[in-house]
Structure 1
């Protein structure tokens, strides 16, 4: 596509380094969609007559079908997806195929193709995120009243409901969905028509191209249009943060399924064993969620590092923007369905959770709050409750085991009625404020989450790229 200036072909070492068709071939459907739109604006500008336009569109349709079936494939001589597709068009149209190159460059083509590809696949990620959120929500609905020992610093802190805990993992997924849609609004700008960097002297219509390709507007600056890879970096930030959220969920599943916790039992179909220890049942999906987060974070760092020193406009460094983006989509495409299956089929051990909930003085804050309701300043209430815990630690007993005399000895503010708050049931029932862990607020949260997921389901299946 660029040989006219040169007296010979590239050295083998340069050709091997430059070739990208082995990974950018997946952009072919998007490049063909851009070519259709570009052919129409060429015709509108009088650069293709109606018959030529008809032949061009028919050839592009045929080429697209051949690509989809595998009949047409790139060869080792094709530098990139654009080179391969131009070859396919020339094979079908002869010299007429060469007219399509007028008024555009691989610089604005690839920027357009990658935006189309990522916008399309962002919807696929949204579908998978909704499926995982659905799995967590369904388990939460079964455990609205299931008591669990909430933790800070991985130490028992206060009783919570396990449904509340599971929904706490849904909330970041909802934010991830919001980020994808927010990202999409900024990515919906068409670079096509910017040419190599300066636009075109031909009377083309970038706005018409943008509309046909599902963009909201053409790029306002042709130099920025071909130099911008913010949309890739931002997409990779979103996928990296998704990876972090999945890693945190994975870590908790690893803990919950351990012998020490035993709160959850994984279905055999979503666990693995050991080649030497017959008794093992490993949460490999959860562990891979932790491990693959590093891969997703690494993709973001790769692109940011590549971009940080580039002068405007296009530089060949930008060839490195695609593989991290493709890898992020493929990684999450494997990981999200596996996690959804693992969560939806796991069995929650309600008995083990109930037994663990009051352990570790998790009801101590209930005593402090009881004192506050009786007019004791919280600072003093905290000290009194701490003395109760210290006494229990010395004796090796729980708060509810203390006698009436023990209570009086610690503080005159304490009397036997404090025992009314020393149950897990009363602790959970007292949490009635919005967003708290009581069964009522959790049921309300569950309904809100389900409504939000229904709206995201609709967005996730919207078609961005015309077919």
Structure 2
């Protein structure tokens, strides 16, 4: 493209190196955002027709042209490349090329500032929806296995030391509830940022009585970002909250991956990771490495790094600043990597094979000491006295079984009373939202 959309007759030539620096990764990054930018442009054109800035015929011609652009982009026939400064200029260039003077009218009542803001909010709503569905799928697998394996014993650990007998049911249900919370957070965050900034232009409003509410409704937004200044000041703020929701899920992903990394080691030997999720060593013929689990464990670092990168950009005064361009790369990178990793987890979890004999053998007699203390409390002793007496009776615990210990733990949520029905009901209610 020979000219930039901001070019005026009086504009001096800008050094090519400067333009490459200013554009940065925009053209590549905007490939993720272009479908949302096109949607917003279609809605904007119809809004302009409703206030008479465009005729309905002109708006419909734009709509047809933009539909074609979306289809050709999806099919790979249109490529967003270095011919364009960014996705916004590509849309305008496409409309001018296909419709001439009609296409040149699309930018009335908007700026690239609110174009990118609305495209990013549409993108985040979409990705938070995907995040919620990914966490739903993980939670569903965990709940299914919790029900099927509720009574299988597992050594419980604190401080990486054996603590008490536990069960696979409790372990699975614990991870299920974590990801149910992540579903809720993703949906709450999507609702929190469900506001349209389109029609605020460069942050000061425009000279037309734009149908902002109608355009927002056409785009599926719940409400408006009312104040034009805040439409710019919220850039980065909403991205941070979206990354917070993603980070909550990848943090839980890291924890379950850590458990599996330990449990799959020869020292534990509690679980076998399906070979479909493993690779071999380049030098040691005996090795089968749970590489997928390990990379899922490290995925949270990508999200935390993206969040810190974005946070560092946002030390800015009110209004639009070009620095905000640098909030896009970490957001898009984190969601791309995070959602890819979370999508793998349900199949990995469903394929795990537990080594029940090994888990049962690992439960030493002294792990029943807390059970004995609680029995003494039920017989009338103060807990601290029961604690000391149980500590002096370790040699009497060898006849107890892990099954007996788990069956006695009937408090709500405990091994013998997992309340899986409550967790299933909460998951279903979230899925219906």
Distance 1:7 1:456, change over 3 A: same
| Partner in structure 2 of residue 240 of structure 1 | 247
Residue 197 of structure 1 pairs with residue 203 of structure 2: yes
Distance 1:53 1:338 in 2: 43
Matching of residues 139-154 of structure 1 within 5 Å: 139-154=145-160
Matching of residues 68-79 of structure 1 within 5 Å: 68-79=74-85
1:6 deviates by 4.6
- The answer to whether the 8 Å contact 1:158/1:365 transfers is yes
Bigger Cα displacement from structure 2, 91-100 vs 336-345: 336-345
Distance 1:110 1:333 in 2: 22
Q: Deviation digits for residues 252-285 of structure 1, max 9, x if unmatched?
A: 0011111111111111112222122222222111
| Partner in structure 2 of residue 2 of structure 1 | 6
- The answer to whether the 8 Å contact 1:270/1:341 transfers is no
Distance 2:302 2:47 in 1: 41
| Partner in structure 2 of residue 373 of structure 1 | 378
Larger Cα-atom Rg = 1
Matching of residues 264-283 of structure 1 within 5 Å: 264-283=271-290
1:206 deviates by 0.7
Distance 1:26 1:89 in 2: 20
Distance 1:9 1:26, change over 3 A: farther
Distance 1:454 1:355 in 2: 37
| Partner in structure 2 of residue 436 of structure 1 | 414
Distance 1:356 1:310 in 2: 56
1:371 deviates by 1.4
Structure 2 unpaired stretches of 5+: none
Residue 400 of structure 1 pairs with residue 397 of structure 2: yes
Structure 1 unpaired stretches of 5+: 393-398, 402-418, 460-467
Matching of residues 314-353 of structure 1 within 5 Å: 314-353=320-359
Higher relative contact order, structure no. (Cα contacts within 8 Å, ≥ 6 residues apart):
1
Q: CA RMSD in A?
A: 1.6
Distance 1:360 1:280 in 2: 34
Distance 2:60 2:275 in 1: 57
Distance 1:6 1:282 in 2: 63
1:121 deviates by 1.8
Bigger Cα displacement from structure 2, 66-75 vs 108-117: 66-75
1:388 deviates by 2.7
- The answer to whether the 8 Å contact 2:299/2:337 transfers is yes
Q: How many correspondences in the alignment? A: 426
After TM superposition, the score normalised by the length of structure 2 is 0.94
Match of 1:185 among 181, 191, 201: 191
| Partner in structure 1 of residue 69 of structure 2 | 63
Distance 1:159 1:303 in 2: 44
3-state SS of 1:158 partner? strand
Q: Deviation digits for residues 296-319 of structure 1, max 9, x if unmatched?
A: 111111111111x11111111111
Distance 1:314 1:253, change over 3 A: same
- The answer to whether the 8 Å contact 2:135/2:249 transfers is no
Distance 1:116 1:262 in 2: 46
- The answer to whether the 8 Å contact 1:372/1:378 transfers is yes
